[in-house]
Amino acid sequence: MKNNHDLLLTTQCKKLTPYLWPLLLGFLIILSVASYYNYHWHKQSLISERTTVAKQAALKGQLLLEKILQQKFQHIEDSIRLLAENSPLKHYAQTHSAEMRQIVEQQWILLSQNSGLYTQIRFIDPQGMEKIRINYNAESGEAAVANKLQYKGNRPYMLEAKNLKPSEVAVIAFDVESEFGQIVRPLKQAGRVITPLTIDGQRLGYVLFNLDMSEVMSLIDEQERVNQLSIEVMTNDGHYIRSEDPAHAYGHVLPSRQKFSLALSDNNTWQKMQADSEGVLRLDKGYLTYRWVNFNLRQRLMPHSTQRLLILTHIRDNDIQLATHEAISTANSSWLLRLALILSISIVASLWLQRWLTRFKTQKLMLSAISSMSSVIITDQNNRLVGVNRAFEQLTGYQSGDIVKKVPEMFEAINQSFEEFQGSVKSIIANHGRWQGEMRCICADGRTLNIWLEASAIHSGKGQQNVDYYVANFIDITKQKRLESQLVKLSNTDALTGAYNRRRFDEELNRLSRIADRYANNQFCLAILDLDHFKAVNDTHGHDVGDEVLKTVVSHIHPLLRETDFFARLGGEEFAVLMPHTEISAAISVAERLRNEIEHTNIVPKVTMSIGVVAYQANMPETELYRRADIALYQAKALGRNRVMSDDSQRVDNTTNLNLISGAATVTL
């Protein structure tokens, strides 16, 4: 019987022999064509994916630059306002006292050395003559008083300054340096910020910062290095501030370079970018992402050309192809290797039964998955583990022998039970061929990993409904998730104290205002907290001690707040607390508790706190709410500090408020 079977098999093989090589040749031609189309499709997919990633990175980088630049200029603006309100400077401007001048010079030297942003800080009299000038050397990190003072009354920025109203700030940020009316060569980036010094309606001079614009431009250089994409910056009228060709920059201030303007060279593209604040444009040889950055605020004046800037990021097709070349070559080699494997299996398939061929191919696919670099698990149709690879064991700490033939309970779905998750995954695989998404994995030592998992099914060949195995591979994305969380925290919190920052406070105030306007029972209160005589702490003990005091104060305030309260540092020694669902009486109690804690805490040097509390009223503008809280704070200051005062809109009119502010200012002086 066995001999008959062998004879039959031999006869069948002889019959197939004449057709074997033609069939094999035809099969190879088909595979070659399929290989080419697969390679072409995979290449386009890689290029498309890389382009999408580059566009997203460019847009995120531009948004980050916008926030950093706006924060940088806001900090500079706040600093010059504080200097203009400085008591020794006002005293010097009125009396020209040599003693007051020395105090101002020492303060400005410390500011120059600590900030590193200002190459010069100057006080100029109304006629344009320098009275005080501090020069800062970035290389040595030293600041010194200038001995030779100059007349600046005929400079363009001084002519602009004479038109400023009290408390207004003029910012000429993107300029070039000039000496004695001539532009310095080689070109040197420059910027100036100026504000008037006014006392009792009389203008006694101007405070002026010369900015180190290389510090600002280095932020753009760093973003360009991180994303490996070319970044250009333009003025409101299309001239380059930062260009791939430095010879095209500063056309808004150099007449010889005014011809280098995007509005002139490519007006069609320029007009498209006027419609939206950000976007992506397809060009002949790549993509261009853009974002408009607005700088001109209510009390900040800038030249028209730089009131808003345009940030451009170039994504060129050549750069994308170069970045994906290695991946495409690897993918093509991998595909050719798979072709060779399929060819070998096809030769064996011509001699063996279809059933055994299918089983053999299944085993090959499983072997390929097991030996891959990512962590892989294989389960049967009953969701029991069939096998795991070495990468899985190394990542999770589980050994294959301990978990095979068991349900993989180490995986957790996000916001869903595991049973519901399994059902939905099988349904997606049945309809679309695969599933991918984020999960959590509990390791053998108790660690929890965030993973990105992709699952697919291996079929027996009798239809898509007959699943032999499920193969899932995943990678560890815990570090990426942690980094995302840290970036969100950094953008929302104050770096020194850990409290929320001013930007996050404005967002929360806006959110609570909208909720309160919509729902009558969702009122809230605002408290503004200010440390008493904190400037004296900085002046006497130094800014390092002042910083430690701020951190200590915040560490004592946080435990006393409720879970629903929102605590933020507005700037300097000023803080704010938003109290949702809180009546004014309860808010005063919370504020009094905070004030009492700071008063009786052993903080060295000793500080106290004044607090202004106000309740939100329906449809009240946010600026009005803040103004009333500020008035209450000034009232607390005027009545002796270290106390809590609340705003009573039915009792305190605008005249009284102005009197309180005037009284507080007198006490402070």
Distance from C-alpha of 530 to C-alpha of 407, rounded to nearest angstrom: 59
Mean pLDDT value across residues 71-80:
84
List the single range of 117-126, 185-194, 330-339, 416-425 with lowest mean pLDDT. 330-339
Q: Pick the catalytic residue from 66, 130, 232, 573.
A: 573
Distance from C-alpha of 521 to C-alpha of 583, rounded to nearest angstrom: 11
Residue type, 316: R
Mean pLDDT value across residues 542-547:
92
Helix (H) or strand (E) holding 629: helix 622-638
The pLDDT tens digits for 608-629 are 999 999 999 988 999 999 999 9
**Which residues on neighbouring strands pair with residue 476, listed in sequence order?**
451
Residue 342 has pLDDT above 70, yes or no: no
Q: Domain boundaries in the chain? A: 56-274+289-317, 364-486, 493-668
SS3 449: strand
The pLDDT tens digits for 116-164 are 888 899 999 999 999 999 999 888 889 999 988 988 888 888 888 888 8
The pLDDT score that the predictor gives to residue 556 is 93
Upper half-sphere CA count for residue 605 (Cβ side, 13 Å): 17
The pLDDT score that the predictor gives to residue 180 is 67
List the single range of 92-106, 165-179, 335-349, 444-458 with lowest mean pLDDT. 335-349
Please say whether the beta carbons of 136 and 143 come within 8 A. Answer: yes
SS3 589: helix
Residue 575 has pLDDT above 90, yes or no: yes
The pLDDT score that the predictor gives to residue 389 is 83
The pLDDT score that the predictor gives to residue 346 is 63
Distance from C-alpha of 192 to C-alpha of 172, rounded to nearest angstrom: 5
Residue 589 has pLDDT above 90, yes or no: yes
Give the mean pLDDT of the chain.
81
Q: Report the 10 Å Cβ neighbour count for 577.
A: 24
The pLDDT score that the predictor gives to residue 20 is 57
SS3 426: helix
* Percentage above 70 pLDDT, the chain: 84
More confident residue, 381 or 114: 114
Residue 325 has pLDDT above 80, yes or no: no
The pLDDT tens digits for 274-320 are 888 889 988 888 888 998 888 665 555 566 666 778 888 888 888 78
The pLDDT score that the predictor gives to residue 529 is 96
More confident residue, 327 or 318: 318
Residue 662 has pLDDT above 50, yes or no: no
* Percentage above 90 pLDDT, the chain: 27
Alpha helices in 228-308 (DSSP H): 262-265, 267-272
Token digits for 221?
A: 């250089």
Mean pLDDT value across residues 349-364:
51
- 48-86: b (≥16 Cβ within 10 Å) or e: eebbeebbebbbebbeebbeebeebbbebbebbbebbeb
User: Residue 191: which of 254, 120, 252 has the closest Cα?
Assistant: 120
Distance from C-alpha of 256 to C-alpha of 494, rounded to nearest angstrom: 45
The pLDDT score that the predictor gives to residue 271 is 87
The pLDDT score that the predictor gives to residue 174 is 79
The pLDDT tens digits for 42-73 are 778 888 888 888 888 888 888 888 888 888 88
More confident residue, 309 or 597: 597
User: Residue 152: which of 176, 132, 172 has the closest Cα?
Assistant: 132
Mean pLDDT value across residues 644-661:
52
**Which residues on neighbouring strands pair with residue 610, listed in sequence order?**
530
The pLDDT score that the predictor gives to residue 211 is 85
The pLDDT score that the predictor gives to residue 195 is 92
Please say whether the beta carbons of 313 and 227 come within 8 A. Answer: yes
User: Residue 173: which of 194, 151, 152 has the closest Cα?
Assistant: 194
The pLDDT score that the predictor gives to residue 394 is 84
Q: Cα 224–225–230 angle (5° rounding)?
A: 35
Residue 362 has pLDDT above 70, yes or no: no
The pLDDT tens digits for 461-474 are 555 567 778 888 88
The pLDDT tens digits for 402-441 are 888 788 878 887 777 777 777 788 888 888 878 888 888 8
Mean pLDDT value across residues 491-498:
86
Q: At what angle do helices 317-349 and 2-84 cross, to 10 degrees?
A: 160
Residue 10 has pLDDT above 70, yes or no: no
The pLDDT score that the predictor gives to residue 608 is 95
Residue 368 has pLDDT above 70, yes or no: no
Instruction: Look at the alpha carbons of 166, 169, 175, 177 in this order and tell me if their dihedral is positive or negative.
Output: positive
The pLDDT score that the predictor gives to residue 373 is 60
Asked if the domains 364-486 and 493-668 are classified in one and the same CATH topology, the answer is no
DSSP 616: -
Distance from C-alpha of 577 to C-alpha of 11, rounded to nearest angstrom: 92
The pLDDT score that the predictor gives to residue 669 is 26
The pLDDT score that the predictor gives to residue 661 is 38
> Into which CATH architecture does domain 493-668 fall?
2-Layer Sandwich (3.30)
pLDDT band at 249 (very low <50, low <70, confident <90, very high): confident
More confident residue, 324 or 646: 646
The pLDDT score that the predictor gives to residue 668 is 33
pLDDT band at 666 (very low <50, low <70, confident <90, very high): very low
The pLDDT score that the predictor gives to residue 3 is 39
The pLDDT score that the predictor gives to residue 392 is 85
Q: Which CATH number fits domain 56-274+289-317: 3.40.50.300, 3.30.450.20, 1.20.1290.10, 4.10.1240.10?
A: 3.30.450.20
Distance from C-alpha of 481 to C-alpha of 472, rounded to nearest angstrom: 21
Q: Which CATH superfamily does the domain covering 364-486 fall into? A: PAS domain (3.30.450.20)
Residue 142 known to be catalytic: no
